[in-house]
């Protein structure tokens, strides 16, 4: 059932030309007046507080990408720092 919901979300997202993007914060991330704790998973299609606050922000350089879209966004944001991004999406 959970897989089916995820597949539906992916289809909806693809129809709207938005990318699914998930990443885990390696350190605390200031978001305005609040501090998002390290280890938080940011999901571009989730409605939780942290994911909503992260919308429109650049993925942090030290975040761990959990899908290819996050890896590509990180690479696009920091093209001259590829050596800091680890082995990439695998």
Q: pLDDT per residue over 43-63, tens digit each?
A: 999 999 999 999 989 999 999
Global pTM reads: 0.73
On whether residue 7 sits in a domain, the answer given is no
Domain that holds residue 26: 21-84
On whether residue 38 sits in a domain, the answer given is yes
- pLDDT of residue 5 exceeding 60, the answer is no
On whether residue 6 sits in a domain, the answer given is no
Confidence of residue 20 (pLDDT cuts 50, 70, 90): confident
On whether residue 60 sits in a domain, the answer given is yes
Return the exposure string of 53-70: e unless at least 16 CB atoms fall within 10 Å of the residue's CB, then b: ebeeeebbeebbbbbebb
On whether residue 4 sits in a domain, the answer given is no
- pLDDT of residue 4 exceeding 50, the answer is no
Count of the separate structural domains present in the chain: 1
Are the CB atoms for 13 and 23 separated by under 8 Å?
no
Mean pLDDT of the chain, nearest integer: 79
Stretch 26-46: mean pLDDT, rounded?
Answer: 94
On whether residue 10 sits in a domain, the answer given is no
For residue 64, give both structure tokens: 């761990």
On whether residue 32 sits in a domain, the answer given is yes
> Cβ of 40: how many Cβ atoms within 10 Å?
17
């Amino acid at each position: 059932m959970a897989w089916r919901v995820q597949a539906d979300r992916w289809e909806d997202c693809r129809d709207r030309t938005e990318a699914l993007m998930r990443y885990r914060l390696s350190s605390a991330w200031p978001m305005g007046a609040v501090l998002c704790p390290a280890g938080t998973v940011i999901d571009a299609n989730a409605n939780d507080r942290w994911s909503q606050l992260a919308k429109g922000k650049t993925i942090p350089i030290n975040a761990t990408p959990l899908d290819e879209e996050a890896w590509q966004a990180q690479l696009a944001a920091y093209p001259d720092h590829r050596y800091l991004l680890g082995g990439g999406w695998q």
